[in-house]
Amino acid sequence: MATSTALDHDIYLFHQGNLRYAYQLLGAHFETQNGEEGIRFTVWAPHAVEVNVVGSFNDWDGSQHPMKKVNDNGIWSTFIPNLSTGTVYKYELLTPHGHLQLKADPYAFSSELRPNTASVTYPLHQYDWNDEEWMNQRKETNLYESPLSIYELHLGSWKNIEPEVFYNFREYANMIIPYVKDLGYTHIELLPVNEHPFDRSWGYQATGYYAVTSRYGTPDDFKYFVDQCHQHGIGVILDWVPGHFCKDEQGLRRFGGEPLYEYENPAKAEKTQWGTLTFDFGRNEVQSFLISNAIYWLKEFHLDGLRVDAVASMLYLSFGKEEGEWEPNEYGGPENLEAVAFIRKMNEAVFEEVPNVLMMAEESTSWPLVSAPTYVGGLGFNYKWNMGWMNDMLKYIEMDPIHRKYHHNLITFSLFYAFSENFVLPISHDEVVHGKKSLLNKMPGDYWQKFANLRAFLAFMYAHPGKKLLFMGTEFGQFDEWKDLEDLDFELMDYDSHASIKHYVGQLHQLYREHPALWEFDHQEEGFEWIDANNYEQSIVSFVRNSSCSRDQLVIVCNFTPVVYHDYKVGVPAEGVYEEVFTSDAVHFGGSGQLNGNLLHTSNVPWQGQNQHVSMTIPPLAVSFLKRTSTLEEDMS
């Protein structure tokens, strides 16, 4: 590797933990040296006594292509001429203990199809993007005051050729994009697509952090998927796992014979709950590796955001461990101070390099200011999953309606903290697997009531402050919980109830996207006002969603029992004429058809803290959306 001032500076930044594009320095790169085309291999392996490049091109004989040390901090490099795209390779490392290791390249862009584990050379910049319009528009979008509804999916079980045999990213693009667009989602969120050895880890236990999994194709195939999504107006978010990595021998574990990417102290390194290892967040080179990885996915693949998995497991040394299995920090607390500092550093780097993307934390504790900027003491994400809302609502909606009045606080408590963070309301894969049942099958009651409960739950979710996320299958009422080795039960849509739910989700999204009151002030207190939060006896709540235009205001009334109420008084914030613009009880959604077909004129009699009210029909297990269509004066003229 040629020496230059720029190269020396990159190496310096790498060892300082500040090289944000480390994947351009490390890994396998196509170059021309001394007039010869070939590949430069560069790896960080400070514990290794000797490092060689091996592959089919040299019969896996390490003596043929030894690497040379570039510096005393463990960077090794060599140039091998006449190698091309698709070259299969590994690093052969001689450890201080005299053992030979065969390791995949930590910075490889592609890998062999499992169960094979070698890295594969692949050029980084050959794809011709056609999403300029989307990317320019993204720069101008206010993420917080825009609709955001996410369809979370696992490619291999959305649809497959047969169990463990999958379609290509390009084929998935042609199938998924029209489906998601028809449903009205704004974004797709993919479970991890970096290389992982075990299908049933769903990508959350990785070996190749820079390698697009070969299960679904090449890096360019994945770029095509994202490109096509963007051309059809759909954003793409990727699940990303900087908290831990799996222990498979070809991976990062004991790279060069000693702990390197993981903590040296087993009490900090071991993720006993998952059988994985924690990154050493205090090691500078690991910081360069992870921060560069986040930027790599966002920049090179034009992704619109990362959902950062298991943030709580990074923040707490005690996460998933019993007393005596972890050691407190220097102040005696359970917080991993190095991880906290890393997370802040990572988010600062991401937003400086790739402005206006989504950095979403799946953080399950009450850690404060997760989605606040670092300069005010926050972690620097711009969104946090609202796990409290999710747990409360699922607990509530699974109850028989006769018991719900005793647990009314479960549907109201979230509004005490709804604006403390920028929240996403998630119903993710974790809630419909491992015996938890599908969302539809969580619902109590007979067949009709299950669907009515599901419609009411979804309508309440979309009316509640916060952005939205639903896992695949929910949109048509998957009865079985997520079967990760099989594809979705799309054949259920041959039945009216399931076809009606899919139609309902599409119409709910249309309502959501067309009414700024449902998203413009998601993170501001003025965007929400209770009308009646206290009617626990009838399990009815009503509230207002506001926007910057008062005429866009919506009144939402939710009934979580199967009882119909006629001439039910609901206080409204302004006098005039109200229209029911949406109800989950409509017949074409599978409901009972208890509609408010006539315009609702306000009565000038105070009610529920409002100066006027309307009398309406409250449908069973349903949510009604009312909008003021005219003032009283306009109606009389």
Instruction: Identify the pLDDT of residue 416.
Output: 97
* Averaged pLDDT for residues 52-79: 96
- Residue 637 binned pLDDT confidence (cut-offs 50, 70, 90): very low
CATH (domain of 529): 2.60.40.1180
Residue 632: CB atoms within 10 A of its CB come to: 16
Does residue 506 belong to any structural domain of this protein? no
Residues with active-site annotation: 309, 362
Q: Which of 385, 417, 435 is the C-terminal boundary of a domain? A: 385
Q: What is the DSSP letter of 537?
A: T
Does residue 443 belong to any structural domain of this protein? no
Residue for token digits 């409290």?
A: 388
* Averaged pLDDT for residues 301-314: 98
Instruction: Identify the pLDDT of residue 627.
Output: 97
Does residue 261 belong to any structural domain of this protein? yes
Does residue 458 belong to any structural domain of this protein? no
Angle subtended by helix axes 219-231 and 169-183, to nearest 10: 20
Q: How far apart are CA 562 and CA 401, in angstroms?
A: 7
161: nearest Cα among 568, 486, 549: 486
Q: Collect all residues with Cβ–Cβ distance below 8 Å to 403 and sequence separation of at least 6.
A: none
Angle subtended by helix axes 447-463 and 387-397, to nearest 10: 150
- Residue 362 binned pLDDT confidence (cut-offs 50, 70, 90): very high
% of the chain beyond a pLDDT of 70? 98
Does residue 513 belong to any structural domain of this protein? no
Task: Work out how many domains the chain is built from and give that number.
Answer: 2
Residue 171 backbone dihedrals phi, psi, to 5 degrees: -70, -40
Instruction: Identify the pLDDT of residue 513.
Output: 98
Does residue 588 belong to any structural domain of this protein? yes
Does residue 407 belong to any structural domain of this protein? no
CATH (domain of 55): 2.60.40.10
Instruction: Identify the pLDDT of residue 633.
Output: 53
Q: What is the pLDDT of residues 333-353, one digit of tens each?
A: 999 999 999 999 999 999 999
Q: Which of 325, 357, 385 is the C-terminal boundary of a domain? A: 385
Q: What is the pLDDT of residues 526-564, one digit of tens each?
A: 999 999 999 999 999 999 999 999 889 999 999 999 999
The answer to whether residue 3 scores a pLDDT higher than 70 is no
The answer to whether residue 28 scores a pLDDT higher than 60 is yes
Residue 389's SS3 state is helix
The answer to whether residue 292 scores a pLDDT higher than 80 is yes
Instruction: Give, for 425, the enclosing helix (H) or strand (E).
Output: strand 423-427
Q: What is the pLDDT of residues 364-379, one digit of tens each?
A: 999 999 999 999 999 9
Instruction: Give the domain range for residue 585.
Output: 525-636
Instruction: Identify the pLDDT of residue 632.
Output: 54
Q: How far apart are CA 306 and CA 569, in angstroms?
A: 45
* Averaged pLDDT for residues 430-452: 97
> What are the C-alpha distances in Å from 294 to residues 22, 301, 548?
11, 11, 35
6 versus 613: the higher-pLDDT residue is 613
Q: Which of 336, 354, 385 is the C-terminal boundary of a domain? A: 385
Does residue 5 belong to any structural domain of this protein? yes
| Range in 174-178, 449-453, 627-631 the model is least confident about | 627-631
The answer to whether residue 177 scores a pLDDT higher than 50 is yes
